């Protein structure tokens, strides 16, 4: 028998709407056959993979799918709102929205070690999700946005290859929560998931969203996270994204974001001394995130971003541009 976790050689690469529609039709039938009239739970982050799985399952089983969106307080500006708008309103999904900001930020207060931060965020995410799962009755299935590179990566890890960072997504749930997995896109590569997402009618911006780490802004607010610095980071990042979109860079650059270190420098504003944090801009291109090169951002765009961030964001008095490729820098700073 075929191994269900191995992509068959005969499987066509999904490159257009016609192939995507065929895939969707097959998966809708497969999901219906697998779950019958039972309920399915999904952690919906708003990232490409979980969003596509949500849209696919809504098509297949409607309100039998319960989407749980955990806002860990480390989302980018407008992201949770977009999940509520698209899934809660437009697609009329069964959506549970959990604002767990205080739970996460209280636990992270004073924690500066990057790996400890990642572990806290990963563990707490599972706990919040598990708390929600326990409140629901009659759920037998858990849907996941596992894609083929995730499977290939776990094979590599099982072979003992060392990871640079403990990347987290939804890890294992506690023992009292036992579900059968529903993983409709597990044999697809990212570009195929996107084609399927567009065929399902998800907005282009959501389907082509740049990668965003599981720990979110938590690994971009360097060192011990404080609410004021996190707020400044979110606002500065939103300005960067807006300017990249306005200047045709959003489609050209693979990943771009702001990082704010836990240091202050002296500056001047309105003729007075103004101590503030620097906002560091990172914009990289890569194929597989294993190595990355730096995108050349036109100076005029950098000037505009600098002017906007320093005038619009409270607490920031400088803007720096990180020109380090990977290696030696990793893409994220933590």
- What are the residues binding ligand XMP (CB under 6 A)? 164-165, 167-169, 211, 213-215, 255, 289, 326, 330-332
Residue 217, CA distances (Å) to 162, 233, 258, 260 in order: 25, 8, 9, 10
- We find the least distance from the C-beta atom of residue 49 to ligand XMP, in angstroms, to be 10
- We find the least distance from the C-beta atom of residue 248 to ligand XMP, in angstroms, to be 22
Nearer to ligand XMP, 33 or 164 (CB): 164
- We find the least distance from the C-beta atom of residue 197 to ligand XMP, in angstroms, to be 17
- We find the least distance from the C-beta atom of residue 283 to ligand XMP, in angstroms, to be 12
Nearer to ligand XMP, 35 or 331 (CB): 331
Separation between Cα atoms, residue 219 and residue 223, nearest integer Å:
8
Separation between Cα atoms, residue 206 and residue 80, nearest integer Å:
12
- We find the least distance from the C-beta atom of residue 187 to ligand XMP, in angstroms, to be 19
Instruction: For the beta carbon of residue 67, count every other beta carbon within 10 angstroms.
Output: 25
Nearer to ligand XMP, 229 or 282 (CB): 282
Separation between Cα atoms, residue 213 and residue 47, nearest integer Å:
10
179 burial via Cβ count (<10 Å: 0-12, 13-18, 19+) = middle
Nearer to ligand XMP, 185 or 199 (CB): 185
- All residues at 6 or more sequence positions from 108 whose CB lies less than 8 Å from its CB, including other chains: 117, 120, 121, 218, 224, 225
- All residues at 6 or more sequence positions from 239 whose CB lies less than 8 Å from its CB, including other chains: 305, 308, 309, 312, 313
- We find the least distance from the C-beta atom of residue 170 to ligand XMP, in angstroms, to be 10
Nearer to ligand XMP, 169 or 285 (CB): 169
Separation between Cα atoms, residue 24 and residue 197, nearest integer Å:
10
Instruction: For the beta carbon of residue 72, count every other beta carbon within 10 angstroms.
Output: 24
Nearer to ligand XMP, 165 or 304 (CB): 165
């Amino acid at each position: 028998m075929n191994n269900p976790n191995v992509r068959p050689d005969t499987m066509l690469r999904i490159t257009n709407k016609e192939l995507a529609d065929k895939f969707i039709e097959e998966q809708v039938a497969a999901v219906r056959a697998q779950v019958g009239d039972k309920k399915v739970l999904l952690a919906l982050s708003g990232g490409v993979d979980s969003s596509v799985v949500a849209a696919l399952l809504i098509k297949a089983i409607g309100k039998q799918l319960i989407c749980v969106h955990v806002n860990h307080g480390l989302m980018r500006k407008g992201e949770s709102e977009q999940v509520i708008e698209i899934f809660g309103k437009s697609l009329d999904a069964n959506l549970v929205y959990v604002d767990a900001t205080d739970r996460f930020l209280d636990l992270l207060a004073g924690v500066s070690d990057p790996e400890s931060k990642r572990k806290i965020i990963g563990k707490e995410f599972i706990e919040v999700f598990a708390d929600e799962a326990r409140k629901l009755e009659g759920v037998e299935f858990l849907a996941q946005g596992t894609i083929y590179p995730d499977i290939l990566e776990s094979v590599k890890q099982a072979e003992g290859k060392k990871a640079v960072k403990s990347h987290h997504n939804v890890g294992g749930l506690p023992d009292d929560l036992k579900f059968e997995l529903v993983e409709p896109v597990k044999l697809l590569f990212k570009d195929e998931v996107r084609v399927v997402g567009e065929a399902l009618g998800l907005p282009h911006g959501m389907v082509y969203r740049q990668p965003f780490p599981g720990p979110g802004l938590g690994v971009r607010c360097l060192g011990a996270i404080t609410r004021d610095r996190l707020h400044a980071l979110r606002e500065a990042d939103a300005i960067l994204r807006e300017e990249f979109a306005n200047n045709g860079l959003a489609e050209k650059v693979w990943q771009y974001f702001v990082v704010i270190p836990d240091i202050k420098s002296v500056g001047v504003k309105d003729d007075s001394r103004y101590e503030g944090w620097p906002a560091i801009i990172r914009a990289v291109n890569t194929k597989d995130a294993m190595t990355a090169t730096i995108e050349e951002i036109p100076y005029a765009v950098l000037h505009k971003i600098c002017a906007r961030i320093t005038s619009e964001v409270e607490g920031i008095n400088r803007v720096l541009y990180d020109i380090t490729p990977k290696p030696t820098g990793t893409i994220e700073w933590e």
